[in-house]
Structure 1
């Protein structure tokens, strides 16, 4: 039996060969869970508070251009037309074939129940806990989902680097793999490592895999493409026994020069979704749902540095062959000042947990009562908006 590749064991041995680990600036740990049903679910946490108004632009709202000022988009400013009211940020233009195929959609004006303080830490905690109040539980909503389903199996654990996905933390066993390692070994150090590990086949194999996943060889990780490595790794697992994958994409906290600082995060998101589709292949992609969620939205008006500050209502992204895409879901509240939350933020008209709840219900068959009472305690799922095919 192959022994698990643990952080403690890795650090103990790496001290002999001078390895160094460096955290990725883009991504946190990826968590995976195997389960007996056939559909696949990918949950992406967009850490930093994505500006939904800049991503899915409501250019058809009569107050949009005035409210957004220099950040106003729309087809006339290079955005991709969606439905005559909303347009898509140009940096996500490569995803338009998914929209045309009905494999990309959005839900606008959504938020967790978290309000007013607008702390990233609190916002992410309540997003991953899936509760209506802070500190109500210690585990994550995806983990609670697994505790209610039969036949969930443990995968071999890989813990390399830093970060955690609280969304999958809890009593149910899941596997972890972290792409946050730059082994940064010279050819001489790699040869020394090979000699040292010759008599330890289990660690030799694990080290070789870690080296490959960290960047494909001796030169270390390509941090600029780390999101693609994560997407490919997740997709490869989902092609096998894994049914749920959760990971993060950072870089959404755009307090200044948003017209430039938002673009890299959007390009990483687009690349991630495209990589997932391509690596999964048509058959598995056809039964996959991807949901990308963020802790809260951003202010409607821009600030003095050309960015936006922490807000409330935002948008979530849906993708995959199992998604009924080609639509922007949700009830639009309007952007006139009287319609804004505290006269500064997009007013949430739906709980961000509700679309996720309907995806869980459709993909796994878990009954509504269990979802509302255990997975997302305090949630009223409302009506089924038809997010799945």
Structure 2
């Protein structure tokens, strides 16, 4: 006899009600267990975070000229870091981490992806880590999975995924599973009446729908979590719990960074969630925070000039945020290319001065002892690792 599981109904109904790509609670999470005590967390910021706004190079006088309506610099509420860079006001909760040496950034970074400025392609290349090969060969998997393949003692550590595919960064031959917060079904009274009407003559779906909405209302912990950062905190809290156990690598994503219009509001919400996630990781990890490196990466940056809608368009060079007790924080890494005439990529974007993959590779080298030649040939094919940025303490 055909039966409909109530939790399966919850999963399907939630996906009907919202797009998995757009809903932040549909972010999947993946883990892997490794020998040793060092930990790596990769947060993918989907939608192209504007690094020029998150970590403002206000010491470059061209920034104010190119962004006349976007707030720039300490005189507009940004928090001075070193006389050249300033932290966006919505990242103020992270300022103590900078002061303690647990927060850093690298500006003018990018993958080898150029010019087409597609979120989908950009994210595929960021997670595959293979260079500028489009379309990405699915057989090569993601760069975190190739890290696992380079460590024969690695084992899988997992929870479950609800309604989403695995993050591509950890797909591949090495064993891995995934987890995501349980989806919940929250219906308005009108929508619930419509659901009851549609399924009135179908006892199988009618009873399952009634049970599902009742379960959701009474027991969904995520449904009761307050505030706009609850999803980010839930992901980070679960990641910390696994990292305190057998896991040594966690990867999850935060969506909502595409700020074509009304950037102040869009970016502000994203930065609130990122700050909440990092602080929740720090809180949850406790003493293990001292052995943790967090890399918050986005597929590409945004244009230096603001557009006519109070936002910025798809660009090239961006920013990498680093956090954790294992990093040498309180500093900005990398070479600043300038924003003057002739210094922009294609006359519009921040010029990349370093491959973002190099920072991830040096983190792997320092945390897990992966050899340089293996990083350049196997984990990040075609990467020129360059000099050690000395990003780890």
- So what's the TM-score if we normalise by structure 2? 0.85
**What's the CA shift for 1:179?**
1.6
Partner of 2:237: 232
Pairwise CA distance, 1:137: 3.5
Is the CA contact (8 Å cut-off) linking 2:301 and 2:314 kept in structure 1? yes
Look up the SS of the partner of 1:31 in the other structure. strand
8 Å Cα contact 1:181-1:221 kept in structure 2: no
Larger displacement relative to structure 2 (96-105 or 219-228): 219-228
Equivalent residue of 2:320, what SS? strand
**1:131 shift after superposition:** 1.1
> Residue 222 of structure 1: CA displacement?
5.9
Which residue of 144, 147, 150 maps to 1:145?
A: 147
- Cα distance between partner residues in 2 of 1:323 and 1:60: 24
Alignment partner of 2:333 out of 305, 320, 329: 329
Q: Which residue of 2 aligns with 1:161?
A: 163
The answer to whether the 8 A contact 1:48-1:252 is kept is: yes
Unaligned runs of 5+ in 1: 1-10, 186-206
Out of 5, 14, 20, the residue aligned to residue 21 of structure 1 is 14
Provide the aligned length of Structure 1 versus Structure 2: 355
1:170 aligned partner: 172
> Any gaps of 5 or more consecutive residues in structure 2?
188-211
Structure 1's 331 and 12: CA in aligned 2 closer, same or farther, altered over 3 A? farther
Change (3 A) 1:221 1:351: same
Measured in 2, the distance between the counterparts of 1:292 and 1:18 equals 31
Within 5 A, what are the aligned runs for 1:33-182? 33-134=32-133, 135-138=135-138, 139-179=141-181, 181-182=183-184
Matched residue SS, 1:179: coil
- Against the structure 1 CA distance between its residues 180 and 254, is the aligned structure 2 distance closer, same or farther, given a 3 Å change threshold? farther
Determine if contact 1:105/1:318 at 8 Å carries over to the other structure: yes
Secondary structure in structure 1 of the residue aligned to 2:277: helix
1:61 CA displacement:
0.7
Task: Give how far 1:309 is off.
Answer: 0.3
Is 1:366 matched up with 2:358? Answer: no
Give the match for residue 358 of structure 2: 354
- CA 1:184–1:302 in 2, change beyond 3 Å: closer, same or farther? closer
Q: Partners of 2:307 and 2:389 in 1: how far apart?
A: 35
Equivalent pair of 1:34/1:174 in contact (CA under 8 Å)? no
In the alignment, the residues of structure 2 paired with residue 39 and residue 121 of structure 1 have an alpha-carbon distance, to the nearest angstrom, of: 31
Q: How far off its partner does 1:158 sit?
A: 1.2
**CA positional deviation for 1:180:** 5.3
Instruction: Determine which of 373, 384, 388 is the counterpart of 1:384.
Output: 388
Hey, what's the Cα distance between the residues in 2 that align with 1:170 and 1:148?
Answer: 12
Give, in angstroms, the shift of residue 383 of structure 1.
0.5
Give distance in 1, aligned partners of 2:63 and 2:177. 44
Is the contact made by 1:215 and 1:222 (CA closer than 8 Å) also made in structure 2? Answer: no
Cα distance in 1, alignment partners of residues 216 and 62 from structure 2 = 52
**How far does the alpha carbon of each residue in 1:50-96 deviate from its partner, in whole angstroms, 9 at most, with x for none?**
00100110111121210122114111110011000000100001100
For the 8 Å contact 2:106–2:320, the answer to whether it is kept is yes
TM-score in terms of structure 1 length: 0.86
RMSD, aligned CA: 2.5
2:128 and 2:116 mapped to 1: Cα distance? 18
CA distance in 1, matches of 2:335, 2:378: 26
Q: What does the per-residue CA deviation read over 1:204-250, in whole Å, with 9 as the maximum and x for residues that have no partner?
A: xxx9xx989x9428x56768311111100000000010000000001
Q: 1:276 aligns with which of 266, 281, 285?
A: 281
* Other structure's SS at 1:107 match: strand
In the TM superposition, residue 160 of structure 1 has moved relative to its aligned partner by 1.4
Are residue 312 (structure 1) and residue 324 (structure 2) matched? no
Contact persistence 1:161–1:179 (CA under 8 A): no
How far apart in 1 are the matches of 2:89 and 2:48?
19
Q: Secondary structure at the match of 1:21?
A: helix
Q: Report the Cα distance in structure 2 between the residues aligned to 1:67 and 1:74, rounded to whole angstroms.
A: 13
Distance 1:156 1:56, change over 3 A: closer
Change beyond 3 A, Cα 1:154–1:211:
farther
The match for 2:348 is 344
CA distance in 2, matches of 1:17, 1:255: 36
